[in-house]
Amino acid sequence: MRDDARQENDEDLPAPLSDTLPLLRELPPVRAQWRAGVLSEVARSRKPERRVSLSVPWAIAAALLCAVVGGGAAVVATHARFSTLPIRVTASSPSPAAPTAVLPVRFSLIAPHAARVAIVGDFNHWDPTTLPMRLSADGQTWEVEVKLPVGRYSYAFLVDGTIAPDPAAPRGSADDFGKPNSVLMVRGS
């Protein structure tokens, strides 16, 4: 702190304290031999510092390597998690129609151990409550029929609260949370 700034701060203090401050700022008298001994002891006990410095290209390369390895680990973990679900999905549109037609599309999913399944996508604003799937008589296949206009749609299945893409459909871009989606093309003719 500069001396003039100290003096400004000192003026704000009561007189007894401002009179004491110069005394507190003085270094206590110590013998030069004692001071030299302390400083040499500190210097001797200090461990040498190891400095690691990377150039900018090496730092960028290290960051990219971490990103690639982390991304690969995420893909492996996601694949391992979803590969245990016995899922098969089919989507079909029965007959050719005019380009502006609305066509019935049947989604089916084999998930024998699931308690609840729903389909979510941009056609229902990703709302898991609007298109619950029904368990068919075989006790393994979940089904729902959705009427969709001709177009391209992103979708996924919600199996007991877990998002699962359609393994039989082309993958679309990942959603905002990094989960991959499936793509469905509904064609009229």
Strands of 6-101 (E only): list them. Answer: 89-92
Given this structure, which CATH class describes domain 86-186? Answer: mainly beta
Pick the range with the lowest mean pLDDT from 45-49, 68-72, 78-82, 173-177.
Answer: 78-82
Please determine, for residue 98, whether its predicted confidence score (pLDDT) is greater than 50: no
Q: Which residues, 6 or more positions from 160, have their beta carbon under 8 angstroms from its beta carbon?
A: 114, 115, 116, 117
- Which residue ranges make up each domain of the chain? 86-186
- The answer to whether residues 128 and 118 touch, using CB atoms and an 8 Å cutoff, is yes
The residue written with tokens 């082309």 in the block is 170
Q: Is 161 left (phi over 0), alpha (psi -120 to 50) or beta?
A: left
Helix (H) or strand (E) holding 42: helix 32-45
Please determine, for residue 139, whether its predicted confidence score (pLDDT) is greater than 70: yes
Q: Is 36 helix (H, G, I), strand (E, B) or coil?
A: helix
Q: What angle do CA 179, 108, 117 make, to 5 degrees?
A: 55
Pick the range with the lowest mean pLDDT from 59-73, 89-103, 132-146.
Answer: 89-103
In angstroms, rounded to a whole number, what is the distance separating the alpha carbons of residues 23 and 27?
Answer: 9
Cα–Cα distance list, 18 to 3, 11, 29 (Å): 14, 7, 22
- The structure tokens listed for 72 are 């690969």
What does the pLDDT look like over 8-55, one tens digit per residue?
666 777 877 777 777 777 767 778 787 787 777 777 777 666 666 667
The stretch 171-182 carries a mean pLDDT of 70
The string over 145-155, giving b where at least 16 C-beta atoms fall within 10 Å of a residue's C-beta and e elsewhere, is ebebebeebbb
